[in-house]
Amino acid sequence: MSDIPTKARHRLAVYAIGGNALSDPALMGGEASAAAAAAMDAVLCDVVDLLEAGTRVVITHGNGPQVGEMLLMEEALFDRRRDDAESPPPPEGLDHWVAATQGTLGHEIATRLDSALRERGRHEQVATLLTRVEVDPDDPAFASPTKPIGPLIDDLDAVPNDWKIGETAAGPRRLVASPAPLSIVDDDAIAALLGAGAVVLCAGGGGIPVVKHGDGHRGVDAVIDKDRVSALLATSLAADMLVISTAIDALRLDFGKESERTLREISRTEAEQHMESGQFPSGSMGPKVSAMLSAKSANPEMQVVLCQPGEAFAALRGEAGTEIT
């Protein structure tokens, strides 16, 4: 099934694709579609290049813009049915829409990756796995939503009273609960697919958030941060590399100021200090840096980089992006 030889241990990369890189919430219409297509092409080049170098690849992806759009459609339909004097069922909840976007985005990425692999003469199979991630039902994040979803909000007066709005680098967006991931329920299945030589697409949108319920699990209304799950996955799989691919080409200090400077390399200590000083805000780069620190702390031998799509190899060589050392 795979071009990867099986006699030696092969390096493993967890490659995390940002939801904003695939669908920029600041863009609309044809401009957004063109940007998403270009980002996807660059992502696929990164993944195939890693495979060509003899590295197995697990792909995760965000879904913030997409899950927000689906939630908006559901709420609009609920309001219309209520206005028409119907008795609509209550909204399904974010866990259902995270599962839905795992399917839609996973299908899109897998289909395009299949084509890219064939064009390069490779024969790996791509497996897309609906992935559940356990969270703590008492996580304080449920009381303090921080995760941006959906498009930018251009009319704050039209926002429902029960929404929490936060200011992101691009503008105001809706915020929802983002509890910390405790464990990946389906990690054994991910490892089995990797062992069979597949390229695995999993933990889309941070995974479907679930809590323990009796002998099993039940879904909860939240969106888990994709980068935190990617760090957890990279640690549990003993990955050699974690690549955070996002719309931003590198970490920067004093972002947006005259003193702005790009970081090609930063130590864990320096990153922690900059986090504490507010250089990496919670609404933008903070969660990514936190996830990178988590992975690097759990496995100091892991190479952990952030870059924009298409620059994974350059970032791993220290020529682009930012590496945490």
Beta-bridge partner residues of 217: 212
Per the annotation, the verdict on 318 as an active-site residue is no
Of 106, 147, 205, 207, the catalytic one is 147
Closest among 254, 270, 272, 251 to 262, alpha carbons compared = 251
Specify which of 16-25, 46-55, 139-148 reaches the highest per-range mean pLDDT: 46-55
Please name which of 286, 288, 283, 290 lies closest in space to residue 148, comparing C-alpha atoms: 283
Domain made up of 12-133+179-324: CATH architecture = 3-Layer(aba) Sandwich (3.40)
d(CA 299, CA 245): 20
Partners of 323 in the β-ladder: 265, 305
User: pLDDT band for position 92 (50/70/90)?
Assistant: low
pLDDT beyond 80 at 194: yes
Q: How far apart are CA 226 and CA 88, in angstroms?
A: 32
Taking 70 as the threshold, does the pLDDT of residue 308 lie above it? yes
**Active-site residue, selected from the candidate residues 19, 197, 205, 207:** 19
Mean local confidence (pLDDT), 33-41: 80
In tens, the pLDDT along 226-260 reads 999 999 999 999 999 999 999 889 999 998 888 99
Give the C-alpha separation, 181 to 191, whole Å: 18
Confidence grade of residue 183 (pLDDT, cut at 50, 70, 90): very high
Average pLDDT across the chain, whole number:
86
Please report the pLDDT score of residue 282 as a whole number.
Answer: 77
**Candidates 68, 150, 207, 226; catalytic one:** 226
Per-residue pLDDT at 4 exceeds 50: no
**Annotation marks residue 299 as catalytic:** no
What is the model's pLDDT at position 86? 60
Domain ranges of the chain: 12-133+179-324
CA 313 to chain centre: 19
Is 257 catalytic? The answer is: no
| Percent of the chain's residues with pLDDT above 90 | 60
**Average pLDDT of 194-199?**
95
Q: Which position among 18, 20, 63, 205 bears the catalytic label?
A: 20
Which tokens sit at 26? 């600041």
pLDDT digits (tens, 9 = 90+) for 249-300: 999 999 888 899 999 999 999 999 999 999 998 767 898 999 999 999 999 9
User: Which residue in the list 206, 288, 296, 310 is annotated as catalytic?
Assistant: 288
Q: What is the dihedral of CA 21, 22, 23, 28, to 10 degrees?
A: 90
DSSP letters spanning 24-70 = -TT--HHHHHHHHHHHHHHHHHHHHHHHHTT-EEEEEE--HHHHHHH
Where are the extended beta strands (E) located within the chain?
12-17, 56-61, 126-128, 132-134, 147-149, 164-167, 172-176, 183-184, 199-201, 208-213, 216-219, 241-245, 251-253, 261-263, 265-266, 303-307, 322-324
